[in-house]
Amino acid sequence: MTYEIRTWPDKILKQKMKEVDFFDEKLKEYIDIMFKRMYEEEGVGLAANQIGIPYQILVLDTGVKKYEAQEEMEEEPIKMALINPKIVKKEGQIESTEGCLSFPGVQITIPRAEKVVVEAKDTEGKDITLDAEGFLAIVLQHEIDHLNGIPFINYLPPVKKRMVLEKYMKSRKKELAKAK
């Protein structure tokens, strides 16, 4: 399998992923592949379904310099893999300008919680709880949404969502035509 980045409207991006019930070499292999693909694409986070892996796995590295939001935050870079992550608490609200590897060329501003509490498992299957705020909280929300089949465009009002999707699909058709 090539593990290419899946772009909208690929159906896997619209589905809730299966929970991981294996903590073995296959899981470690998936995580290694995910980090490799994320770095190749200069992403900050990656959900497993974005490369066709149908499980609740996400990887992130807030040290990848790409977005203005990172520059504004004075946080230590965090690199991690989370298994079966769930947001159990949200606090506050901020506006977040985000891009997405599955929507190349699209950047939108949407509301996000300022702080989140996430429960997950680590790569060994141990339960962990993560209190996150700022940029890390935004990345976690974005990637956990992916694992639940919720693209970031769903946070836009219907008219704006339609406009963004129309523009995106038009640009994708042009790119695909050039590639042929």
Catalytic residue check, 143: yes
Taking the C-alpha atoms of residue 165 and residue 13, their distance in angstroms, rounded to an integer, is: 15
Closest residue by Cα to residue 75 from 143, 140, 137:
137
SS (H, E, C) 107-148: EEEEEECCEEEEEEECCCCCEEEEEEEHHHHHHHHHHHHHHC
Taking the C-alpha atoms of residue 150 and residue 163, their distance in angstroms, rounded to an integer, is: 18
* Cα distances (angstroms) measured from residue 84 to each of 89, 128, 158, 178: 16, 11, 30, 39
* Cα distances (angstroms) measured from residue 122 to each of 20, 64, 75, 97, 129: 11, 21, 22, 28, 10
* Active-site residue identified among 29, 76, 98, 143: 143
Radius of gyration of the chain (CA): 16
Please give the positions annotated as active site. 143
